[in-house]
Structure 1
Amino acid sequence: MKDVTVRYGRHARALTTAVEDVSLTLVDGEFTVLVGPSGCGKTTLLRVVAGFERASAGAALVRDAAPAPGGGTGIVFQQPRLFPWRTVGGNLAFALARHGVPREQRPSRIAELLDRVGLAGMGRRRTWELSGGQQQRVAIARALAGEPRLLLMDEPFAALDALTRERLQEEVRTLAASSGTTVLFVTHSAEEAVLLGTRVLVMAAPAGAPGRIVAELPVDLPRDAGTDPAALRAAPEFARLRGELTATMREAATLPA
């Protein structure tokens, strides 16, 4: 993104500027987290990258092309948004078909995807038979069906209980580290941002002004699959980074417009 501005409304007097003059570059294999209060434009930027919104000014490109739904980009929303009339496997089969995977290859791909998200053998289950955490795992598997080079995640764990949230955080962290997928992740939580991200971008919309990126925090913590999540959360460096990010977020909320 280069100087991206997004405005809503059809008439000059009704225009609302959601974000203004935002520049952002994602590097291959990076796990970038956007953090900030509600209304600062985090989801708006994610939707621009996904191709669901167009920039009113500035330029947004994904691998030198205009952003468009699909096209090597996967997305996970706050809610799973699964097809309730399909089985778990049926939801994944639909995604695989959309990505051009031949019918005869789909059963093995479905089994592989379910195994990756810890739901092996559950392809015949109905989505309404699953817990909220299991449904979100299916949503993640669906996003991975097209082997995306870029994965967008919009507060995917916000509606889950604390224990399920921690488990899925650990799974996504390991999955991203092992696959090398580039991730752009939206959250309100400083702890979640430090745990998952290799880089955290702080957004703010001070005094009702348009949202913008106001700070950047690099996160240099162990990311290999063998890292013990409990030990990582207890590490002094994790606590330091979480405290620094929390303080930065508080300062950003008091910036002048």
Structure 2
Amino acid sequence: MPQAEFQDTGDTGDIALHGITVRYGKAKAPVVAVEDVSLEAGPGEFVVLVGPSGCGKTTLLRIAAGFVTPSEGTATVRGEPPVPGRATGVVFQQPRLFPWRTAGGNIAFALARHGVPREHRAERTEELLARVGLAGMAGRRTWELSGGQQQRVAIARALAGEPQVLLMDEPFAALDALTRERLQEEVRTLAATSGTTVLFVTHSAEEAVLLGSRVLVMAAGPGRIVAELEIGLERAAETDVAALRGTPEFSRLRGELAAVMREAALTPAG
């Protein structure tokens, strides 16, 4: 794959992707996964990517994480080319915990990678577990944790380096409805209290409206952004999220986004 020429674009956003194109396969007959996509996420913004499978949502997130180099275009995170783990924390659909380590051991490993002295790791581990609602569970083995608890550990691990940017790739998709709702509320509160910039991938219109301050809708064949919706719901940490779900404005926005997503799924390429 050709290497993109990363440049200082002078962006002020925490995430800036400009003119991103990704091609796979042979040069004579490449598959264009993403074509000429640009997006930015400002400091403290919660940007959600939605769209059908295969539209390139995860590809864009992986470019922001530094895992994928685009064929064309420029990518920066806080003004620098993205490097895995430098300024970003990443949470995947599956927790991807080390099964031979405890919950606390998984977090301590991340703390060590980020240069936290050994004598401070236990205290910091407890702080991070408490932050995701798992206080006192550092000694639990991964197989002793439910799916939702494992995902909480994964979120705590992603926060170990105190990232300015958090990248989340459908982190609640495999969870039951009740656990998913609880973690959605916790992530929403976490973003509001920390000021962390979040890029979040989902297929769910409801999840996108609940979490996002702005939603970008993608279409496939090749992947591209076809619509953008501003979400003006209350985002303060003390917001009653359960009550918010039942408001007419929430229902209106969810319906509007769902309609745009259906239209995007039927939008022909080019």
For residues 69-107 of structure 1, what are the alpha-carbon distances to aligned partners after superposition, in whole Å with 9 as ceiling and x for unaligned?
011100000000000001111101100000000001101
- State the 1:225 CA deviation: 2.0
Decide which of 40, 44, 50 is 1:35's aligned counterpart: 50
In the other structure, the counterpart of 1:5 is 21
Q: Matched residues in 2 for 1:131 and 1:215: separation? A: 37
1:233 to 2:248 alignment:
no
Decide which of 239, 242, 246 is 2:258's aligned counterpart: 246
- State the 1:61 CA deviation: 1.1
Instruction: Name the SS of the counterpart of 1:147 in structure 2.
Output: coil
In the other structure, the counterpart of 1:211 is 223
In the other structure, the counterpart of 2:10 is none
Q: Which has the higher helix share?
A: 1
Q: Which runs of 5+ in 2 are unaligned?
A: 1-16
Matches within 5 A, 1:52-201: 52-201=67-216
Query: How many percent identity over aligned positions?
Result: 77
- State the 1:14 CA deviation: 4.2
C-alpha contact 2:170 2:201 (8 A) present in aligned 1: yes
Instruction: Name the SS of the counterpart of 2:218 in structure 1.
Output: strand
Instruction: Tell me the TM-score normalized by structure 2.
Output: 0.92
- State the 1:227 CA deviation: 1.4
Q: Matched residues in 2 for 1:134 and 1:13: separation? A: 47
Instruction: Name the SS of the counterpart of 1:12 in structure 2.
Output: coil
Instruction: Name the SS of the counterpart of 1:29 in structure 2.
Output: coil
- State the 1:256 CA deviation: 2.4
The alignment of Structure 1 onto Structure 2 pairs a total of residues equal to: 253
Instruction: Tell me the TM-score normalized by structure 1.
Output: 0.97
